[in-house]
Homo-oligomer: A and B are copies of this chain.
Amino acid sequence: MAFQKERSAGFLANHMARLFANGLQQRIRPLGLAPAQFMALLALWDEDGLTQRELVQRLSVEQATMANTLIRMERDGLIERRSHPEDGRSQSIHLTAKAIALREPATQAARSQNEAALVDLSEDERLVFLDMMRRAIASMQSG
């Protein structure tokens, strides 16, 4: 029996995630944001002054990935780093006024992209869909 990519959850997940990322990128590019920067901002809008390690935990990416994203965010004037008073190894990451001001337009762009993706699903189906994704994530994380 042949392996059919259209019946493969992994293939579909990859394709879907690329479309999400591309769509979000189109919408937030005018704001001067890239998708991974937006993800980091989500965590920082919720709680400013996190350390790199805490961002890594909240976004489930590798430390090296976050380090590079933070370099680009600092370059783009979205964050500044302050030395941590209690631990000379770590820094706390703080939003600039520019980044704070982007909260509403950026989250609105993300909501708009989610809506575009789920437009064909009913309200009930959307809840089921999100739940199934969470369950797949949990299975892959534990396994």
Q: How many residues of A contact B (CB 8 A)?
A: 55
Q: Mark contacts of A108-130 with chain B using CB atoms, 8 A cut-off: 1 yes-contact digit, 0 otherwise.
A: 00110110111111000110111
How far is B130's CA from A11's CA once the two chains are assembled, in angstroms?
10
Contact between chains at A117 and B10 (CB < 8 Å): yes
Once the chains are docked, how many angstroms separate the CA of A42 from the CA of B43?
38
Q: What is the oligomeric copy number?
A: 2
Q: Does A97 contact B (CB under 8 A)?
A: no
Tell me, rounded to whole Å, the shortest Cβ–Cβ distance linking A1 to chain B: 9
CB atoms of B117 and A19 under 8 A apart = no
Interface string of A72-113 (1 = CB under 8 A from B): 000000000000000000000000000000000001001101
